Amino acid sequence: MEPLCEYCGVATALVYCKSDLARLCLRCDGYVHSANFLSSRHNRSLLCDKCNSQPAIFRCMDDRISLCQGLFQPDGDDLCETESDLRQQNQSC
C-alpha cells in the first residue's frame, strides 16, 4: 500500500523530509519547502520504492528504482549510485 502525504492526506507520498520527519507528495513538498529560506534548505529524498516508508539512499538507474538501506544489496553493478553520488553530479549543473 502506498503511503499518503502527511500534509494533505490525499496524494501519494513520494518524498521524505528528514528535518520534518514527514512523507510528502510532490505538491505539498513544494509548498512546505518554499515557505521560507530555512525550510528550502531541508534535505529531502525519494521514498524507497519497495517499502514505501524509509528514505531512499540508493538509486538504481538500470531498474529505475530507489531503495532504502535495508533493502539495497550491492552486486557490484556500476549503474547503482548512492544519493551522495547523485548529489555530487547535480552540483555541477
Q: How confident is the model at residue 83 (pLDDT cuts 50, 70, 90)?
A: low
Give the pLDDT of residue 89: 47
Q: Whole-model pTM above 0.75? A: no
Boundary-marking domain end, from 30, 47, 64: 47
* Shared-domain flag, residues 52 and 82: yes
pLDDT in tens, 56-76: 888 888 878 888 877 776 665
Distance CA 90, CA 93 (A): 5
* Shared-domain flag, residues 32 and 12: yes
Q: Considering its fold, how many domains does the chain have in total?
A: 2
Distance CA 4, CA 2 (A): 7
* Shared-domain flag, residues 58 and 28: no
Q: Are 66 and 46 in contact (CB under 8 A)?
A: yes
Distance CA 16, CA 23 (A): 5
Give the pLDDT of residue 75: 63
* Shared-domain flag, residues 63 and 92: yes
Supply 17's cell numbers: 523530509
* Shared-domain flag, residues 31 and 54: no
Place of cell 529560506: 37
* Shared-domain flag, residues 1 and 42: yes
* Shared-domain flag, residues 57 and 88: yes
**Owning domain of residue 65:** 48-93
* Shared-domain flag, residues 42 and 54: no
Is the pLDDT reported for residue 93 higher than 50?
no
pLDDT in tens, 8-60: 999 999 999 989 999 999 999 999 999 888 888 998 989 988 888 888 888 88
* Shared-domain flag, residues 38 and 64: no
Place of cell 529531502: 44
Name the residue type at position 46: L
